[in-house]
Amino acid sequence: MRLTQPRQKMTNCLWWDDTMKVTVTFENDSEEDGFDGKTSVERYNVDDLYSLAYVFGEATRSAGFTYVEAVAFEKDDGKMVFGEV
């Protein structure tokens, strides 16, 4: 997923009214893990890094990485922003 300036259409996000819709899709190939299909998580009203990190955490767990407790972003000032668990 690429993040760009608000109100631009993107590959996996659509912007409107200062919030965005985020869709994360994992595609599995039966040759690799015996499961052939897709897992998608879609959330609306993502408006800050906290909620974006939360969505990525949910998506990661739904894809089978159940041991992941939180996802974080490091900002350019060195501060970490964690999604709420």
Tens digit of pLDDT for each residue in 14-46?
444 567 899 999 887 777 667 788 888 999 988
Residue 48 falls inside a structural domain: yes
Residue 77, domain extent = 13-82
Residue 71 falls inside a structural domain: yes
Residue 2 falls inside a structural domain: no
pLDDT at 67: 94
pLDDT band at 9 (very low <50, low <70, confident <90, very high): very low
Residue 49 falls inside a structural domain: yes
Q: Using the 8-state DSSP alphabet, how is residue 71 labeled?
A: -
Residue 74 falls inside a structural domain: yes
Nearest alpha-carbon partner for 22 in 3, 5, 46: 46
The total domain count for the chain is 1
Residue 7 falls inside a structural domain: no
Q: Are strands 72-74 and 80-82 parallel, antiparallel or unpaired?
A: antiparallel
Residue 36 falls inside a structural domain: yes
Residue 5 falls inside a structural domain: no
pLDDT at 69: 92
